[in-house]
Chain A
Amino acid sequence: MIALQAAAPETAIGQTNPVAIGFFFLFISITLGITWWAARLTKTTEQFFAAGRSISAGQNGWALAGDYMSAASFLGIAGLVSTTGFDGLIYSTGWLVGWPVVLFLIAEPLRNLGRYTFADVVALHRRQKPIRIAGAIGTLATVTFYLIAQMVGAGGLIKLMFGLTYETAIVLVGAVMILYVLFGGMIATTWVQIVKAVLLLSGAFLLAVLVLARFGMSPTALFAAAAERYGDAVLAPGKQVANPWDAISLGMALMFGTAGLPHILMRFFTVPDAQAARKSVFYATGLIGGFYLLTFILGFGAMVLVGPDAIRAVDKGGNMAAPLLAEVLGGTPFLGFIAAVAFATILAVVAGLTLSGAAALSHDLWVNVFRGGHAGGDEQLRIARFATILLGVVAVALGITFKGQNVAFMVSLAFAIAASGNFPALVLAMFWRRATTTGLLASMIVGTATTLVLIYLSPTIQIDILHRDSALFPLKNPALVTIPLSFLVGAVVSLLTTSNARDEIDRFEERERQLLWGDKKGVAP
């Protein structure tokens, strides 16, 4: 309507931006300072993995928000809304609704039943080795796919914003992240998340206020301006929910996947008790919900003030909508600030993922499988640090391997694995008397394996990536099938193996008491 051919906008994106680099180094200096401070407090395994249970509910609330709000949600959703309007908003709600479920079903029992990993909880009173192996596989699968998406996103983003090469960017992210986790453990990672969450929320808030200031502080005036320029259709559902089953399946992966993400679950072990775990999810839900409401404003703001064509001209996926909006509103310095915030966001999420992967490798696999539970704290800590370096190097290698690939689907794949491989086993293990080792094992293995196979057979891979004409499995995300299947397999196999697991079942009351009271404070009645 304005111009048929989208002219490339005047933008400093893609050029070296001194303000961005300045803010970025400021962030790195502050967070490395925190790491130096945290390193002196990190002497035991409990401090390394669980910050010595010293994180308060408020701090953990911010850290949960920091762990969860990835650049994908900040840049991705703002981009989707700015180019598709209402359809992008469907994601804004989907990313939040898992949090209340985490509060109702997971946070408090998890805190009371486990030490460092969710496999602690599934394996309680059951055969350790098989469950630990399956739990570690579920954790590492989730973490790997999430890491690939973050690393590839980081490389592309930093290349666009700072003018560095893709490989340099990836190595930089990997190196800084290893420093945080290796030396500062959970204490440093937690504070990096908090700093990042404060920066991200205040950056998004400032952007939203600046947008609304142009529309008399009225969101509806902003939406009306969008509708006036691009038609009422931008305020209405479009093609996104063409197939209701697709939408429901993705919704299930988002809702129940949040409650199975290892780096989120791990955060509940850092607080002193179940009450603090409960409160921290309340704060996190408030912060994350507020952030996603802001994406409504940012998305439509970018649509009106920058324009969908100009956004697509810079990046086909629309990911530069928020930075472009910042440039329009506050010039190159504000662009630099938002770019640095986006970088900080990726760095923090990657650190959280790596730490949870290191816990699975060291605590679950090394100590409880290879050493049969007999390993000193020093050994566990040494292995955890070794695992951190290993995972950091693997993350860099994966980031470089997947350069230029379409990896956006990997985030929803990670959520689908978490929702089908980890979440059902966790719920069955905590709340169901008759859950047996074999049943839980079957649930985890079938959940993870069917998710991987069905994703491979889905249109996401077959049509979008391999460019075939059709796909064997109709849904883009398999969660609608794999979550119920995982629950069903877990229940049926448990019932079939009851006779071999009498003692596991008989200890249910003991588990239930620990679920309510925790193991330290609970006095045996």
Chain B
Amino acid sequence: MAESLRALARTRWRVAIGFTILMVVIYFGFILLIAFNKPLMARLVTEGLSLGILVGALVIVASWLLTWAYIRWANRRYDPELERLRGEAGR
């Protein structure tokens, strides 16, 4: 029982830190692109839309997607496992 709880805590930590690292890579990737490859970010994808603006908007979209993916994991895997352990403990 205590073992499964520890295991769930470890999984939760790994998922949390994994998602955090993804967010860090995405955002600082954007900043580094701006810092070191300005001509690339200035390139126009179509008239009126530079790659920089597109990627900037995509960073916001990526933040949404990451929170959505985390919530999905928490609802589908984490909550049921926690509920199961609670039931076991209550017995």
- A237 is an interface residue with CB less than 8 A from chain B: yes
Contacts of A524 in B (CB 8 A): 89
Closest beta carbon of chain B to A260's beta carbon, Å: 14
- Assembled-state Cα–Cα distance A92/B52 (Å): 13
Closest beta carbon of chain A to B40's beta carbon, Å: 10
Closest beta carbon of chain B to A290's beta carbon, Å: 9
Nearest B residue to A511 via CB reads B9
Contact mask for chain A residues 193-234; partner B; CB cutoff 8 A; 1 contact, 0 none: 000000000000000000000000001111111110000110
Q: Which of A96, A236, A255 meets B42, CB within 8 Å?
A: A236
- Assembled-state Cα–Cα distance A93/B53 (Å): 11
**Cβ contact within 8 Å between A223 and B48:** yes
Nearest A residue to B69 via CB reads A100
**Cβ contact within 8 Å between A251 and B31:** yes
- Assembled-state Cα–Cα distance A522/B26 (Å): 37
Contacts of B49 in A (CB 8 A): 220, 223, 235
Contacts of A244 in B (CB 8 A): 31-32, 35-36
Q: In the complex, which range does the number of interface residues on chain A fall in?
A: 35 or more
Given A96-B60, A286-B64 in contact, is the A517-B86 Cβ separation under 8 Å?
yes
**Cβ contact within 8 Å between B41 and A431:** no
**Cβ contact within 8 Å between A236 and B52:** yes
Given A241-B35, A247-B35, A525-B89 in contact, is the A431-B13 Cβ separation under 8 Å?
yes
Contacts of A219 in B (CB 8 A): 48
- For window 36-87 of chain B, which residues contact chain A by CB distance below 8 Å? 36, 38, 41-42, 44, 46-50, 52-53, 56-57, 59-61, 63-64, 66-68, 70-71, 74, 79, 82, 85-86
Contacts of B63 in A (CB 8 A): 96-97, 99-100, 285, 289
Most buried by A among B1, B5, B53, B90: B53
Q: Which of A101, A251, A525 meets B28, CB within 8 Å?
A: A251
Closest beta carbon of chain A to B6's beta carbon, Å: 7
**Cβ contact within 8 Å between A232 and B42:** yes
**Cβ contact within 8 Å between B35 and A103:** no
Q: Which of A11-19, A159-167, A275-283 contacts B (4 or more CB under 8 A)?
A: A275-283
Contact mask for chain B residues 9-33; partner A; CB cutoff 8 A; 1 contact, 0 none: 1001101110110011011101110
Contacts of A225 in B (CB 8 A): 48
26 contacts between A and B (CB under 8 A): A86-B52, A86-B53, A93-B60, A97-B59, A103-B67, A105-B20, A220-B47, A220-B48, A221-B48, A223-B50, A232-B42, A235-B44, A241-B34, A251-B27, A255-B27, A281-B67, A285-B64, A285-B67, A286-B67, A289-B64, A512-B9, A513-B5, A515-B9, A516-B9, A523-B86, A523-B90
Binding site for B on A (CB under 8 A): 86, 89-90, 92-94, 96-97, 99-101, 103-105, 219-227, 232-233, 235-237, 241, 244, 247-248, 251, 255, 275, 278-279, 281-282, 285-286, 289, 292-293, 296, 431, 509, 512-513, 515-517, 521-525
